[in-house]
Structure 1
Amino acid sequence: MKTSNFSYLFWIRLSKTIDNTAPLYLRAKLGSRRKEISLNTRVPIDLWCNESFRALGRSPEAKHINQKIYEAIDKIEQILLEFERTNRFFSLENFKNEFTNEEAIEETMLGLFDYHDAKMEDVLAYGTLKNYKTTKKYFKDFLRLKKRSNIYVKELDYKMCIEFESYLRKQPGLNNNGLMKHMERLKKLMNFAHTLELIPSLPHESFR
C-alpha cells in the first residue's frame, strides 16, 4: 500500500452554480492523478472560503456544511488506516469505492477477467469476448499448476508473464500464432487494470 503521495481538499464547483449555491466536492489526489467525489451538499457561494476550504461564520448553515466536511475527514482517515492495516493495493479508484460505499472492483486476476467481460459486453464482438474467456481458462489452469486458485492483479509481474508463455507453449494444438493472441489479450487486460489504477505500472512493458 502506498499513500505517501495522497492528498485531498474540499472545494465548490462554481460551474454548477444554482441560486447562488454550488455543490461541495472532495478532490482526492494520488501523484498526478485525481478524482472528485460529490458530498451531496450545496454551499452558498458567499459562505465559502477558498483558503481554509471551509464555510465561514457560525450560522446553522455554515455549521452543517463544516460538519459534513469533518465527517468526510474522519472517513478518509479510517479508510487510509484500513488500507494500511490490510496492506491492500491503494488506488484512487479503490479509495473512491470505499468512500462512496460502492462495490469495489475485484483486485484478483480472475475477477479482472470477469469485470472486463462485463464492461466490454456491449463494446466487443461476441467472438472476441469468447476468446477472452479461453485466455482466462488457460490462465486459470496455469495458476492451478502453481497451486494457486487465484492471484491479486498486482502479483502478475514480468516473471509470471514469461512463465505463462512457457506454459502455453506446452499446450497441445496451440500454435505460435494462437499463443501470441493469448499473450496479447493478457497485455490488453493489464492495460485495462492500469487504466483502472489497480496497478501502478505495466508488468509486460519489457515483454516481447
Structure 2
Amino acid sequence: MPVTVRVNLADKAVLFRTTIRSAKSQARSTRAWARVHSVDRVLNLNTQIYAKCRKQLINLGADDLLMKYRRLEKADLKATTVVADPNARSQRNSTLAWFWSIDIEGDSTSNDWMNEFYRVHWLRTLALCNRWEEELLLVGREMTWTVAFLMHKSQEWVCRMQEADAKEIIGHRCYAARQAQMYLQLSQHAEDSFDRTKGVAEVAE
C-alpha cells in the first residue's frame, strides 16, 4: 500500500512542475488544478485503505509489521515541492517521509515520473550528506581554532603583564594578570567541553 501513496504523491509533485507552473491561462490553470484534485481524491482513498489495513494488523498483533508500516500523519502526505521547483526557498534541510525509505522493487520501472522524483531527491540527499560532512569537518576545525585563539589572547596578556611588571606599574600588571588568567580558564573550559562533545560523537558512531 505505501507504493500507491508514493506514486500518488510523486504524481502530484510532478503535476505541479509540468502543468500548474506552466499554465499561462485561466482555462489551462483550471484544467491543471482539476488533475491535481483528481490525484488528491485517489490519494485520500489509498490513505483510508492503508489506515484500515493497519488497523487490522493492530488487531492481529503483528508488531513486527507495525514497526515497518507506521501510521500515516498529515505531514507525511504533503507533496514535496522539490521536483516542482528545486531552487525554492526553505527546502535546504527538507527530507522525505518514512515510507519513501521502504524498499519496494519495481515501483518506478513503468513510471517515468517516479524516476524523476527519485533522481531529484537522491541528488538533494547526496548534497545534504556532503554538506553535513563538510559541517562536521568545519566544526572540528573551529573547535581547534577557538582554543588556539583563547590561548593566544592569554599569552598576549601575559606579555602585557611582563611589560607592566618591568615598568613597575602595579595596577596595569594586576589587570593584565587577571585577563591572562581569564583567557586561560576559557581555553581550558572550551577544550574540556569540546573533548566531551567529541567523545559523545565517537560513541554515537
Q: TM-score, normalised by structure 1?
A: 0.30
Higher RCO by CA contacts (8 Å cutoff, separation 6 or greater) = 2
Name the structure where helix makes up a greater proportion of residues.
Answer: 2
Name the structure where strand makes up a greater proportion of residues.
Answer: 1
Structure with higher Rg: it is 2
